[in-house]
Structures are given as C-alpha cells and as structure tokens.
Structure 1
Amino acid sequence: MTLDDVIAYCLAKPGAEETYPWGEGELVAKVGGKAFAFIGIGSPSVGLKCGVDAEAALPWRERYPDAIEVSAYIGRYGWNRVDLGADVADDDVVEMIDLSYDAVVAKLPKAKRP
C-alpha cells in the first residue's frame, strides 16, 4: 500500500480524525480522541497496535522481519512500525489497520464509540 492509500483507509474509518500533534512530519489518526495509527509522512511508515503487548505483536514481526519492527517507546504495549516501502502485502496492512482501530475502539467508553 502507498502512503496515500494508508491515510485514506485510516481516515475512512467511522469517527476517525486527522491530527498533527508533533507538526507536519507525522499524522496521527485517532478515534474517540485515542490514536490508532501513527503515520510517518517523511519516511513512509505506519505504527499500529498489533497486540496487547510486544509478545502478542511478534507474529507480524516474524512474518515480515525486514519490514516490521517494534515501535519506539510504545512497542512494549503491542505497537509495531510497518515500513510502507517494504514488501508487505496490502491485505496484511489493511488487516493490521483494522486490528489497531478495533482494539482502540473496544477500549473507548461506550459514549465515545462511533
């Protein structure tokens, strides 16, 4: 998937909003005020919640060892960084985005869920 495809897919999710908390270099897609995707604009990549902790997110890193790594600072909470310039199947990127979005929505109070 291209960077533009990832941005469009994330922002098409119900209740998704586009934010730039650290300037124009990184777009953060949020739902209910909580991040579900950290999208690197300068270096095409996306950080996604892929499990409850780093161990649960490990299968994705094992499947794509040259393209997916533990996210800096938040990797221990199950976040992986996906290099969009690498050879990761589009279906797998979509699945990871869906998993991340669903995990964040599930933790939202019912009043904030889309």
Structure 2
Amino acid sequence: MARLSGDEVLAYCLGKPGAWPDEPWEGDTVAKVGDKIFAFLGGTGVGLKCGANRDEADELVSTYPDDVGKMPYIGRSGWNTVQLGGAVPDDEILELIDSSYATVVSKLPRRLRPA
C-alpha cells in the first residue's frame, strides 16, 4: 500500500487556497496562509495544529502514541508532529492538514483570508 510522501504532503498543503511555501529557517519548509504557518514540513513527519489547546491535541497523541507527539516550543498551543508512513492513516493525515489550515485561516484578519 502506497503511503503519503513528504512531497505529496507539501503539494496537498500548497493546493489550499492562498497557501504558499516559506523557509523561515534554513532547510525547514513550512506552508503558510496569509502570514501564518499551518504546516511544518520536513523529515519524516508534518507539524500541524491539532487542537485549540494541549488537551485537545493530546487526544491524537493518546490514539497514536508511537506516531504523534507534542511539537517542541509550540506544543502547548495544540501543535503536534504526525509521522508519515506510521499508524496514522493517510486520509486522517489529510483531514488533520485540512483542520490545521481551517483553524489558522479562521484566526487571520479578514483582509488576509483567501477569497
């Protein structure tokens, strides 16, 4: 069974309305909408906003303890790293990307939201 690659995840993220790639730190690609990051890409996983707070994000960690973990520095705000090719099904990863994007868009000033 084919699994999502990092390139496929990047392409999916950049297919979202108003999404664009950035490299705020050398070698680390992120997907942004407006001026906000909605996905951290690179390595073997993707960093996503997985809940409004740590408690909500921890539900995913408890479901997939070997493949989802709290992101350093911003994890307290509901960000997790989700491993590609692990126990988290590809369709669920795509849904998590959709949710992270929608959450970030909802917090943008109206003038920065994609049409």
TM-score (norm 2): 0.92
From 7, 12, 17, the equivalent of 1:9 is 12
4+ residue segments displaced more than 4 Å: none
Deviation at 1:53, TM superposition (A): 1.0
Question: Which range moved further: 65-74 or 55-64?
Answer: 55-64
RMSD of Structure 2 on Structure 1 (CA): 0.9
Question: Structure 2: any 5+ residue segments left out of the alignment?
Answer: none
Q: Percent identity?
A: 51
Q: Does 1:62 align with 2:44?
A: no
Where does residue 27 of structure 1 map in the other structure?
29
- Report the count of equivalent residues: 111
Q: Does 1:82 align with 2:68?
A: no
Where does residue 46 of structure 1 map in the other structure?
46
Could you list the per-position Cα deviations for residues 44-102 of structure 1 after superposition, in whole angstroms to 9, with x for gaps in the alignment? 21100011111111111111110000001000000000111423201110111011000
User: How many angstroms apart in 2 are the aligned matches of 1:96 and 1:2?
Assistant: 15
User: How many angstroms apart in 2 are the aligned matches of 1:91 and 1:17?
Assistant: 22
TM-score (norm 1): 0.93
Could you list the per-position Cα deviations for residues 11-70 of structure 1 after superposition, in whole angstroms to 9, with x for gaps in the alignment? 00000010011112x111000110000112xx2211000111111111111111100000
User: How many angstroms apart in 2 are the aligned matches of 1:87 and 1:7?
Assistant: 20
User: How many angstroms apart in 2 are the aligned matches of 1:66 and 1:47?
Assistant: 15
Question: Which range moved further: 83-92 or 68-77?
Answer: 83-92
Question: Structure 1: any 5+ residue segments left out of the alignment?
Answer: none
User: How many angstroms apart in 1 are the aligned matches of 2:8 and 2:60?
Assistant: 20
User: How many angstroms apart in 2 are the aligned matches of 1:44 and 1:63?
Assistant: 19
